[in-house]
Structures are given as structure tokens and as C-alpha cells.
Amino acid sequence: MEIIKYPAKETWNVLLQRATQSVADIEDIVAEVFENVKVKKDKAVCSYTHRFDKVQLDDMFVSQDEFEESISVLSQELKEAIRLAKRNIEKFHRAQDIQGERITTSKGVFCWQEKRAITNVGLYIPGGSAPLFSTVLMLVCPAKIAGCKNIVLCSPPNKEGKIHPAILYTAQLCGVSNVLKVGGIQAIAGMTFGTESIPKVSKIFGPGNQYVTVAKQLATKYGVAIDMPAGPSELLVVADESANPAFVASDLLSQAEHGVDSQVICVSTSVEVLEKISVEVYAQLEKLPRKEIAKKSIENSKLILVSNDLIALELINAYGPEHFIICTENNNFYCQGIENAGSVFLGNYTPESAGDYASGTNHTLPTNGHTKAYSGVNLNSFQKTISFQKISEKGIQGIGPAIEIMAEAEGLFAHKNAVTLRLNSLKNKK
């Protein structure tokens, strides 16, 4: 890997670009699929499944037999690992269930908030070369804790017209039975408009390739919310002499193997550290089953040498990584200073893959610099917050005159009148 030494700040925009297609490159096909699914519904979904996934389906729904088969074919060891991860993820997300307290803003004026679950949610689970059954845990667990009533899960079928058994086992373990064999753009379009088979949802969750990402963004134009813009995976590590080069290299490769458009970056104040990490990357790369994918991803990736921690932190915040690993003597400096990151991992013994699977935090995170404005999926993602207020007679007498003055200043006399009538009624009451 090439080491980029002391890049000038004016070059950072180019240096930190992701290796992704622009929306303009793929939005035409996404728009075409949406329009056809909107009009032709199931017929269009099946047609695109045949075109993109090379399989002709008689029924999109996963049958009970397929669910039961998934239980029998998975090893007991894997099932136990999934259950352990589920417990940790549930524990972490339950702790996020904090209700707002009742506030007295003025005498006799009471305000508070209450949370309500989003009733209908759609979950997209990538299949393909890496069936992400772990994402089922990351989305279904908080959805269930939040109290979402209707959960639909879509995942692309393989060439045999089946969904990976680990995805089905995990869905069933988490209490989701409404699972459809639909992937890609057509799955997002189906959940956006609703078809004969796919329920229409209010919010869509889940990662995916660039086509899925653009499809989710298009869904928002039709009144469907999304968790966040999330595309190809990325990781940034900041490391110094206290870091273990082999560990850092393994983390870089763990993200690089996701896809050829994934990106990994290592920032350091030591050229020797970067050189050792580079050697380790290529040594470990040769042993990976997904070597060819990781190799192409590494071509899009960078080792960056900077002169001090302040510059490193500024560059990291400018990038806004999805995953951020800190392996330095000065971890607190980076913890306190990081502003833009999806999930942070501290120390030599906190691999990014722990967050992907079993530590308890959520791995559905914003990418492509969207950490500057978006959070990762959490319990609140599946809830709406409703404001409540109750005003007593004394309360309206206290704030009423201010409301009248402000409403009149804005030229909204019906607003003013709604208060004036109440104030006059209280005066007449006396």
C-alpha cells in the first residue's frame, strides 16, 4: 500500500474521496424499476428478480418448511453464537429506552414527550456473496423492543430460489415470519409502494450496495422514511507505536473483504508503523478466501502519514468514517475530539468485527461522509417522539398575553383570538 506523506490540507477533498459511482450513473435504472413496480406490482418484482438474480420464483414468501429446514442445517455452534449476540444486542438497545420527564415550563404549563413505535417497518438484508444474517439481529432486535407491530423482511434469493438458512434461522429466532425472497431495487420499490405480496411500509432500514442506497433515497420522494444513506463499507484506523500492526492489518482487511468498493484508511504519525501495517496487510491478504475482493478494495485504500495528533484528528473528522478504530497512547484525545463517526472502537483488543456481530452495538451505520449529519441505527430509529402539553387556567393567564402579542406581530389573528377568547372567559368567570 502506498504511504501518502504529509498531504496538504487543500488536497484532502480529493484524497478522501470514496470509490463510489455518482447517483447520476445509476439513478435511471432505479427510477425505471420504481415506476414499473408502482404500476405492475408483483409482476414487475418477479420480472426484475429473474433479470437481476437469475431465478424465477413461483412464490416470494418463505414457507414454514424453509424456516424449519434452516434450523436443521445450521450447526449448534453457530446457533449458540447467534443467540449470544442476540442477548448482547437486546441488552444494549433496551438500555436506550429512556422516557422524557414531565417539565413545568411556566407555572401551570406542563410539557412532556412520549415515544410511539413506527407501526410498519421494512428491513432489507443483503444476501449475495455475504449473507448478512447479523444484520437481522441489528434491525429486528431494536424493532421488537420499540414495539413495531408489522415487520417485513426482504432478502435476495440465491440461484436455487432460497434465502441463506442463517438469515431464516435468525429471523425466526427474533420473531419475524413475514420474510420475502426479494432483493435489490425491486425490494425497496415493493416496500415503498406495496404490491400484492409485499406490504407497504412507513420506514425502510438496512444496508446494501449503491443501487439499494439510491433506491432508498428515491423512496423518500414517495413519503417513505429511511434509516440513513448507507453504501459501501468503510473503516479508518488511527495508530501509533502502541498499536499491534498485525491487529490493525486484520481490521483493515475485515472491511476490505466486504466488497470491491469498500474503503479502508490508516492514519499515523509514524512512517515505521504504516510500513509494518502494509507488510502485514499483504501477508494476511494471501490467506483470505475473499482475497480477490479484498485486493481490489485495498487498491482504493490509503495509508496516510501526518505530523501530529491534531492534524490526524482534523483529517479524520473531515473524512467522517463509518467505523473508527483508535489504537494510540492518546486514546482519550481522539475519543473527546471525534465529531464525525458511526461507531468507535478503542484499543488493541477491540476489533471492528466485534461491533459487526456480538458486542451489542449496532452495525447499521452511515457511510460516505454521512456521519456528519446521521447517527447509526438505534432504538429511537424505530420510534417517533410525540410532544404533549397541558395548560391550566393559571398557565394560560401567564403565557397568554405573550402569545397574543407574538401572533398579532406575525399577522395571525385567528391564533391570537384562540387565546383571547380563553382569557376573556376567565375574566368573566371572576
**In the CATH scheme, what is the code of domain 23-229?**
3.40.50.1980
Query: Domain 3-20+232-364 has what CATH class?
Result: alpha beta
**Domain residue spans of the chain:** 3-20+232-364, 23-229, 391-429
CA distances, 170 to each of 2, 82, 176, 289 (Å): 41, 7, 9, 25
Does residue 131 contact residue 168 with C-beta atoms inside 8 Å?
no
What is the spatial distance between Cα 266 and Cα 298, in angstroms, rounded to a whole number?
11
Average pLDDT, the chain: 95
**202-228 confidence digits (pLDDT tens):** 999 999 888 999 999 999 999 999 999
- Residues with pLDDT less than 70, the chain: 20-23, 430
Question: Per CATH, the architecture of 391-429 is what?
Answer: Up-down Bundle (1.20)
Which H or E run includes 131? Answer: none
pTM: 0.94
Query: Catalytic: 93?
Result: no
Instruction: Evaluate whether 3-20+232-364 and 391-429 have a shared fold.
Output: no
What is the spatial distance between Cα 193 and Cα 189, in angstroms, rounded to a whole number?
6
Catalytic residue among 322, 363, 370, 404: 322
Does residue 42 contact residue 182 with C-beta atoms inside 8 Å?
no
* Contacts of 209-213 spanning 24+ positions with Cβ under 8 A: 209/126, 209/184, 209/259, 209/261, 210/20, 210/21, 210/26, 210/261, 211/26, 211/29, 211/30, 211/184, 211/185, 212/124, 212/126, 212/184, 212/185, 212/187, 212/188
DSSP state of 379: G
Query: Catalytic: 323?
Result: yes
Catalytic residue among 323, 363, 370, 404: 323
